[in-house]
Structure formats: structure tokens, C-alpha cells
Amino acid sequence: MKFEVTVLGSSAALPTGQRNSTAQHVFCQNKHILIDCGEGTQLQMRKYNISFQRLNIILISHLHGDHFFGLVGLISTMMLLGRNSNLTVICPKGLKDIVLMQLEIGYTKLNFDIDFIELEPKTIGCVYEDKSIQITTFPLKHRVPTHGYVIREKEKERSMKKELLNHPQLKIEHIHRLKKGEDIHLEDGSVLLSKEFTDDPAKPKAYAFCSDTAYSEQIVDFVKDVDMLYHEATFTEIHEDLARKTYHSTAKQAATIAKKANVGRLLMGHLSARYTDGKLHEEEAMAIFPNACYVNDGMCLSIE
Amino acid sequence: MKFEVTVLGSSAALPTGQRNSTAQHVFCQNKHILIDCGEGTQLQMRKYNISFQRLNIILISHLHGDHFFGLVGLISTMMLLGRNSNLTVICPKGLKDIVLMQLEIGYTKLNFDIDFIELEPKTIGCVYEDKSIQITTFPLKHRVPTHGYVIREKEKERSMKKELLNHPQLKIEHIHRLKKGEDIHLEDGSVLLSKEFTDDPAKPKAYAFCSDTAYSEQIVDFVKDVDMLYHEATFTEIHEDLARKTYHSTAKQAATIAKKANVGRLLMGHLSARYTDGKLHEEEAMAIFPNACYVNDGMCLSIE
């Protein structure tokens, strides 16, 4: 099943004609997840054919405007388009009031429920779980409380070997148990071994998102071995002083985290408007961690 | 001196790929005025080369999101770009708290002052005045308190006739008085008549903005004789029932107001996303008031 990330905004605090404020759409195990929602995200979703109404979960990393000013507009539009299914918003404490206050002042009544899960600063652990995915959060190092997120597929079932489906001793009721890894002991004393009848399941995949953060080795453990890591790289090393001052990272620092965490691939975004593109970021990062790239609005990246 | 309106957003509540949420830039007597500020207005300003930093005054008509969700983002961007000159925001009561709350939660400190002038519902009268322009407000008829605005040039001075500047009896100190309309009585008994030495000043021009409103004849007096009237025309007559239900207008109703108020020209916007363009609106309006057109994002209209 597809696990993919569409970049809806890749700018730093100042949006430009080429880069919108931060937002990403993640499709994982049939769930539609939006991470961050800078101003104009609803228009980017329209542009890149992401359905408003299918969104199940919105994750907000922190309360700097370039990461949440688009949320209330997106919710309004969902309402106007007739949404009636629930929405889960996982966000820093304080955002619920901001959203509701703006809707209430315009006497806007939603025709769907929003389950706001507000996080305390420095929360660590699971914030969402269903039968197929789990979302965990961990703290980043920024000027305001900021939450990183990992979206992880759950361990999948073993899959039946097709060529053994006609095995004379196999009954339909055995299949579910074999897929769970259970061996079947038959009355005649013979055993159907799960390992013989089924293949190992595909390895669960994981995506980690680190929106705005200074270099912090504490991140490494939280994103260990994920298949794809998005880590902000607002600056390159020539502006390392600015990165330190503003609690942002350089491309080199993002790559260092990626290497130490042994991730599959590194995506870099939140590029400062002072760079015309991310080529310098890419060069700098690849010297440390070769499977690195910068992102542009509209890019769709699959986790294989 | 130029008096012109640039349309930054012409959609109704739902922005589309072609039409952004409501916003207009008005340039009048060297003042830069923004009227309404839907989500994404800062990107539209960038697209159409409107300076963020030169904005003097922002007028907000009402607190439905498509007219104000872009304000806090615009203010944040002004701050990030180093603005240090004051800004005046004239708006319905309640907006100041919404803006400040969102800035405070991100610990954003502005390096310029905002003078919020919050209007009570149904306010009528002058809300801004300086030596060259006056802005008045009046109530529209919508689901929430909504303010119409008229931006009016002040009466200008008479201008000296160049060919009489060398008149033997004319002294420099007379010029200012003649331009004010005063006749100069000289010691020898002769009189320099203002009417002979100066030309009539250009007629002051005025622009009126009616954002969201049901048909309301009370508007007529407030926009009487303005050179250009923007009046919403969310619908055409086939959806007159919808217009009534949602407190919006049809193109025919907008044209009726324009005709009764004897305005120079009618602009129509806030077009519902159900219409691919405004051709039907234009036909409908022109049958009643010929000098009518619908607007698109990016249009720049001069008041001659």
C-alpha cells in the first residue's frame, strides 16, 4: 500500500512566489494526514489535488504563524463544502481557543466535530493509534514548544503463500491463525507450520517530521531507523550563526542527524528566502549523508 | 494624482485557483490602503507588486474568515521584513484580540505600533481623516455586523493660471490666498480676483466598497455620486433565493444600487464559485446600469 508525502509548502517564515508556508500531506495505510498548515495551505491542496474532505488527522508542530495560520481557513472551507465526518487535530496547547474564537466571532457553526488533542510542551509518546498506524511525538528545540512527529505503520500480518492454498489439510479457519504466526496442530498429529505456509510481512515503514529546530542530538533516538526523515534546513553552514541565533538548523546539521539516526532518506525544507534554491543545502548535506535532497512545493515522495 | 484600485481577491467564501479571498489595494493621494484581507492576501500583494511596507491603513469590513484570515499573516510578514512605521487597522470590534492572541502565542513582538480602531455595529461617519483624504463608514446588511467604506479625496486647492504668474501686481504672498479663493484688495484700490487668477480645482473623487450585503436601499445615500462603487454580486438573479437566504446580492441588485446612487462606475466581485466567470453578472447588471463590470484578481482600475 502506498505511503507517500506531498510537499504543500517548503518556505521558511516568509512565503515566496515559489514556496508556500509549511504544510505536508501524508498518505499512509489509507489515512490522510496533514502536517502543519501555514497560510494558503487550502489553496495548495486544491492545486495539488489533495481532498479537503478525506483528511482524517491534522498535526501541528508549533504555534509560529507559518505553521498554523492556514488552519482556521481550511476548517471553514471544509464546513462550507459540507463536511460531516470527524476531524482530529493534534497540536500545541492554545490552538483550540484560537481556532474556535475566530469561528465564533463570525457565528460559524461547524457541521462536524473536531477532536482537539492539545499537547503539553515536551510531550513524548503516542498521540494517535488505530489498527494500522501509530503516531508518536517528541520535543524539538525551538523558541516555542515544538513537537516532532513520527508516523509509523504497524506490524503487518504474515501473508499466505498462494501455492499452498490448495494444500489438502488446510481449512479456511486455519488461514487467519497461520497469518498471525500460529502453528496448527491437527488431530492426526501432523502440524501446519506458520513459517511454511506464510511469507514474512512487509517491514512496517515510518516517516518522521522535524519542522523547526536547532541542532539537537536528542532527536536522533526518536527518529532512529525511520525510512524517511524530513528535517528542516533553514540555512547552510555559512549562516550557522543565524541558525544558532534563531533556533534553526543548517543542511549539515540536518544530515548529521540523518546519519546518526541511520534513516533511509533525508528531505530538507523550510529554506530561508535568501537562497534561490536548495542546491547548496543538497551539496552540503550529501557530503555527510548521500541520500539527501531538498524539497519544492508540489513534490510527491514515496516511501518504498 | 492617481486614484486606483487593484483587486487582490474576488472570490466569495470559497477561494478557487482563479479567485483569492476578498482583498483590494487602493492608492489615493499617496496613501496605500488595503480593504479586507482574506487568507493569502500577502501572496497576492507579492504577485501584483503591492508593497507590504508602504501600507498605511487597513480597513476590514466584517469578521467572516474570507475577509480577515490573512491579516495576522500579513502583519507577521511586515514584522519579519523589518517594518517600523505605524499601521492603522480599522475593523469590527473583536479583531484586535484575535490578531494579538495569535502573535502572543508565538511570542512574536512587533517592531511597529498598530492603531486598532474597532467599530461598533452600525457605526456611521468618519473613521479616518488627514489633510488629503477622508474615510467614512456605513452599515451593510449581512449576517454579522458589516461595514461599508467610502474613501474620498478632500476638496483640493484652486490652481494658479501659469500665464498670470508674471502679472506686475502679483506678489508671492498673494498666491496662497488666491488659491484658497480669496480676492486680494491692493492699496491702490484695485482687486486681484481669485476667479481670474486661478482655475477651478479638480473635482474630488470617491470610491465606495460594499463587501458582503443583502440588497439594501439604505446603502444608496451613503454611496451617492461616488465615482466608482464596488458592490458584491455573489449571485445572479437565477439564484435570488440563495442571495436572500445568505444575505448576499445579485448582479441586478448591485446595479440597482449603482443606478439609484448615480455612481460613475460599478465593479462587481465576491462571485460564487458556482459561476465560471462573471459574464452573466455583467449582462444582468448592464441592462440596468451600463457602466458595470465584474472584476478578476489582478485587475487595476483607475478612477479618472
Kindly list the distances between the CA atom of residue B144 and the CA atoms of A203, B2, B101, in Å, as whole numbers in the listed order. 54, 34, 22
Q: CATH second-level architecture of B3-156+202-302?
A: 4-Layer Sandwich (3.60)
Q: Residue A47: closest CA among chain B residues belongs to which residue?
A: B17
Partners of residue A101 in chain B, C-beta under 8 Å: 97-98, 101
Segments of chain A with pLDDT less than 70:
none
CB distance A44 to A77 below 8 Å: no
Closest CA to A250 of A270, A227, A264: A270
pLDDT at A1: 81
Average pLDDT, chain B: 96
pLDDT tens for B207-217 read 999 999 999 99
Q: Which residues of A232-267 are buried (b: 16+ CB within 10 A; e: fewer)?
A: bbbbbeebeeebeebbbbbbbbbbbbbbbbebbbbb
- Return the SS3 of B267: strand
Q: Which residue has the higher pLDDT, B139 or A16?
A: B139
Instruction: Name the phi and psi angles at A95, rounded to 5.
Output: -75, -35
Residue A255 CA to its chain's centroid (Å): 18
pLDDT tens for B222-258 read 999 999 999 999 999 999 999 999 999 999 999 999 9
Confidence (pTM)? 0.92
pLDDT at B1: 81
What is the domain partition of chain B in residue ranges? 3-156+202-302, 159-199
Residues 6+ apart with CB under 8 A from B189: none
Find the CB nearest B73 among A39, A80, A105. Answer: A39
Q: Residue A38: closest CA among chain B residues belongs to which residue?
A: B73
Catalytic site includes residue A188: no
Pairwise CA distance, residues B298 & A166, whole Å? 68
What is the identity of the amino acid at B182?
E
pLDDT tens for A129-185 read 999 999 999 999 999 999 999 999 999 889 999 999 999 999 999 999 999 999 999
B9 interfacial to chain A (CB closer than 8 Å): no
The answer to whether the Cβ–Cβ distance between A43 and B46 falls below 8 Å is no
How many residues are there in chain B? 304
Strands (E), A154-288: 159-160, 184-185, 191-192, 198-199, 206-210, 228-232, 265-269
Other residues' Cβ atoms within 10 Å of the Cβ of residue A116 = 17
Q: Is the pLDDT of residue B9 over 90?
A: yes
Chain B nearest-CA distance from A73, in A, is 7
The answer to whether the Cβ–Cβ distance between B98 and A94 falls below 8 Å is no
Residues 6+ apart with CB under 8 A from B55: B32, B33, B34, B78, B87
Instruction: Name the phi and psi angles at B194, rounded to 5.
Output: -55, -45
Dihedral, CA atoms, B234, B238, B239, B241, nearest 10 degrees? 130
Other residues' Cβ atoms within 10 Å of the Cβ of residue A142 = 21
Q: What would the grid cell of residue A95 be? A: 490552538
Q: Residue A65: closest CA among chain B residues belongs to which residue?
A: B73
pLDDT tens for B58-77 read 999 999 999 999 999 999 99
DSSP codes, B163-192: GGTT-TT--HHHHHHHHTT--EE-TTS-EE
Chain A nearest-CA distance from B20, in A, is 9
What pLDDT band is residue B126 in, cutting at 50, 70 and 90?
very high
Pairwise CA distance, residues B237 & B247, whole Å? 14
pLDDT at B101: 95
Catalytic residue among B66, B212, B227, B297: B66
Pairwise CA distance, residues A209 & B102, whole Å? 24
Residue B245 CA to its chain's centroid (Å): 27
